[in-house]
Structure 1
Amino acid sequence: MSQFFQLHPDNPQPRLLKQAVQALQQGGVLALPTDSSYALACHLDDKDAVERLRRIRGVDAKHPLTLLCRDLSELSSYARVNNAQFRLLKLGTPGPYTFVLEASKEVPRRLSHPSRKTIGLRVPAHHALQRLLELHGAPLLATTLIEPGATEPLNDAHEIRQRLEHQLAAVIDAGACAMQPTTVLDLSPMTSGDAPVLLRQGQGSLAALGL
């Protein structure tokens, strides 16, 4: 049965955050609130946890996963970023955007896109999640919490626990969570001077990025 952590949205309790981090470090998959919708997340370097996350989500190895990063500096260490891309990233972080970029050598090869060697990255604007990432000290691998066969993400912590309590190590409740996923932008064409490509219109506004 999964643990259930009720965190204050603005002042998350350090004791509960430490317990959540411990669950991640022990190979657990967690349900986390973000500034867009709930996500499934696990330790980046734990192969078994990544496979479990994919099974819960009902996707195969070809489905792209996202790195949740603390800040733009951390994001830049896991992706190759030129000046034009960096200026756009500054406008969208933190926020409800996922950016697809060329993966750096810091990203395990099995996690990047098999044919294009790209990776999705985001810096969430969610206080409790930011504190968890700080305490964890490294990015988390994540995907939107959508059940197999469903089209909408789950966004209620109690319902998530009821549905997935035997598959998750923990569920974090930090108040109300949006249902709309991130806007996904592929910035890899900018490497050769082309325009970014919109892969999914979500909560993040293109106008806020000057697009």
Structure 2
Amino acid sequence: MLVRLYNENPNPRDVRKVVDVLREGGVIVYPTDTVYGLGCDITNQKAVEKVARFKGIQVEKNNFSFICSDFSHLSDYTKPIPNNIFKLIRKNLPGPFTFILNANNNVPRYFKGKKKTVGIRIPDNNIIREIVSELGNPILSSSVHDDDEILEYTTDPELIHEKFAELADIVIDGGFGELIPSTIIDCTSDEPILVRQGKGELEY
């Protein structure tokens, strides 16, 4: 199903329709402030495993991150964050950044494996933030972008819908996506470390 939502004012009824699908274990493709994402409710293990199988990876060895609606989710899923790191995150989110933080015990065990970290995103995109807010907990974030693919297939929602028709229950058309992914910052130690430069310049 292809659902059109507008970033300036996402239709609440359509947002609830997407959330209902997520609560039933569905998989969605959604817009962010960078590339389109593929995800599901992080609390639904079967849905998470479905996404992992599609990506050809094991859940516990993944680099999935969580899409959050606001800063309240940080304390829900991470260990206490040092003040300097928290100030950095507050200054740059919402925005095109993924912050890797130390995970606490609320992160579902099937994500952890030997890892004790979690990537957190709060995109500057009202559509996905409204969906997560209505759902009440983060959703899984995995990019639909693939360097080997024809560019249009990762930016045009209608073509994304064709490609992911068998996997995704809903593809959200939020307009054309981008090709540059988020910038990744490792914040698991005292000083932040740039892991990948993507869209956005970090402000200190």
TM-score, reference length from structure 1? 0.89
**Cα distance, 1:58 vs structure 2:** 2.6
**Counterpart in 2 of 1:182?**
182
**Counterpart in 2 of 1:94?**
94
Check the 8 A contact 2:103/2:117 in 1, yes or no. Answer: yes
**Cα distance, 1:147 vs structure 2:** 4.9
Q: 2: CA distance between counterparts of 1:148 and 1:200? A: 15
Structure 1 pair 148–49 and aligned structure 2 pair: CA distance change class (3 A): farther
Q: What residue ranges of structure 1 are gaps of 5+ in the alignment? A: none
**Counterpart in 2 of 1:63?**
62
The CA RMSD over aligned residues, in Å, is: 1.8
2:12 to 11, 14, 19: 14
Could you say what secondary structure the match of 1:110 adopts? helix
Could you say what secondary structure the match of 1:48 adopts? helix
Check the 8 A contact 1:57/1:145 in 2, yes or no. Answer: no
2:196 maps to 1:197: no
**Counterpart in 2 of 1:169?**
169
Structure 1 pair 148–109 and aligned structure 2 pair: CA distance change class (3 A): farther
Q: Percent of counterpart pairs with the same letter? A: 32
Counterpart code for 1:54: A
Q: 2: CA distance between counterparts of 1:10 and 1:176? A: 15
**Counterpart in 1 of 2:39?**
41
**Cα distance, 1:36 vs structure 2:** 0.9
Query: 1:7-156 counterparts in 2 under 5 A?
Result: 7-61=5-59, 62-80=61-79, 81-112=81-112, 114-147=113-146, 150=149, 154-156=154-156
Q: 1: CA distance between counterparts of 2:24 and 2:139? A: 14
Structure 1 pair 150–176 and aligned structure 2 pair: CA distance change class (3 A): closer
How many residues get paired?
A: 201
Q: What residue ranges of structure 2 are gaps of 5+ in the alignment? A: none
Q: Which runs of 4+ in 1 moved over 6 A?
A: none
Q: 2: CA distance between counterparts of 1:68 and 1:143? A: 10
Q: 1: CA distance between counterparts of 2:2 and 2:54? A: 18
Once the two structures are overlaid, the 10-residue window that deviates more, 70-79 or 24-33, is 70-79
TM-score, reference length from structure 2? 0.92
